[in-house]
């Protein structure tokens, strides 16, 4: 279970404290078990500092605490604080970036049967799509919906999200795609063939939480080969 340690302190020497944290990162390189570190300053009280440190587990946090470098930096930290820092130990019981749900719903919607929905709950009105398969970028919700309808008319398909990483206003999904070629696609008449491909998509979210921009990378050559397009070129 992921474990988070919340550290609160008061100090009028924040710049020194910040440099001390840099020292700890440098000295524990290759040893520390912490995987994420966030430091915040209270907007209503600049002397109130909160640090959030994430670990894979409580046991990993204890191993990190037992490092001699951690002990040394902690003693220096106490000297910089106006009072003794306080520690709150938290077992993480829910950790789901909101963007992750948006991405998963997006892929599920792309492959859902029936008419393609408006997508205005998922995509920004001015969404911008970059796909190397197209001659130019696709801009605007209506244009992106038109491009998606083209794919849906050509294939009955399903996406599997293999990996999904969300950080700030960006997400990156590694996916696999399984489909049946049922309609014309890039001049290739329906073949009825079962095809698969893999790819990654990077998403940027707008201030409203909807998808504002996408960058697609997928195995175009492999897909065309499965559709028999390369055989026709060889002939």
| pLDDT averaged per 10 residues, the chain (length 235) | 94 94 91 93 96 95 93 93 95 89 96 92 96 90 95 96 94 97 93 96 95 96 88 54
Q: Are residues 194 and 113 in the same domain?
A: yes
Residue ending a domain, choose from 91, 108, 129: 91
Q: Are residues 154 and 218 in the same domain?
A: yes
Give the H or E element holding residue 90.
strand 86-91
Alpha helices in 54-177 (DSSP H): 58-65, 68-80, 98-110, 141-154
pLDDT tens digits for range 90-146: 999 988 788 999 999 999 999 999 999 999 999 999 999 999 888 899 999 999 999
Strands 3-10 and 155-167: unpaired
Q: Are residues 40 and 104 in the same domain?
A: no
Q: Which domain holds residue 48?
A: 3-91
- Mean pLDDT over all residues of the chain? 93
How far is CA 91 from its chain centroid? Answer: 22
CATH of the domain at 121: 3.10.450.50
User: b vs e for 198-220, b when ≥16 Cβ sit within 10 Å of the residue's Cβ?
Assistant: ebebebbbeeeebbbbbbeebee
Helix (H, G, I), strand (E, B) or coil at 36: strand
Distance CA 224, CA 227 (A): 5
78 and 20 in contact (C-beta within 8 Å)? no
Q: Are residues 211 and 140 in the same domain?
A: yes
Given the structure tokens 């993480």, which residue do they identify? 92
Residue ending a domain, choose from 58, 91, 124: 91
Confidence at residue 56, expressed as pLDDT on a 0 to 100 scale? 95
Confidence at residue 229, expressed as pLDDT on a 0 to 100 scale? 78
């Amino acid at each position: 279970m992921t474990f988070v340690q919340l550290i609160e302190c008061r100090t009028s020497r924040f710049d020194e404290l910040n440099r001390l944290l840099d020292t700890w990162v440098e000295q524990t390189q290759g040893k520390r078990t912490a995987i994420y570190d966030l430091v915040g300053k209270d907007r209503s009280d600049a002397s109130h500092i909160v640090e959030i440190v994430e670990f894979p587990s409580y046991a990993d946090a204890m191993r990190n605490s037992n490092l001699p470098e951690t002990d040394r930096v902690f003693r220096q930290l106490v000297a910089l604080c106006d009072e003794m820092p306080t520690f709150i130990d938290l077992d993480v019981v829910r950790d789901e970036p909101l963007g992750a749900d948006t991405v998963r719903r997006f892929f599920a919607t792309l492959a859902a049967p029936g008419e393609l929905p408006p997508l205005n709950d998922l995509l920004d009105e001015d969404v911008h799509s970059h796909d190397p398969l197209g001659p130019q970028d696709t801009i605007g919700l209506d244009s992106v919906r038109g491009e998606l309808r083209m794919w849906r008319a050509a294939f009955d398909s399903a996406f599997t999200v293999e990996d999904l990483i969300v950080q700030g206003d960006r997400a990156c999904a590694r996916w696999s795609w399984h489909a049946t070629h049922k309609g014309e696609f890039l001049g290739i008449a329906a073949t009825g063939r079962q095809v698969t491909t893999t790819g990654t998509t990077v998403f940027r979210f707008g201030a409203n939480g909807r998808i504002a921009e996408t960058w697609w990378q997928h195995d175009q050559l492999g897909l065309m080969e499965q559709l028999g397009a390369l055989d026709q070129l060889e002939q």
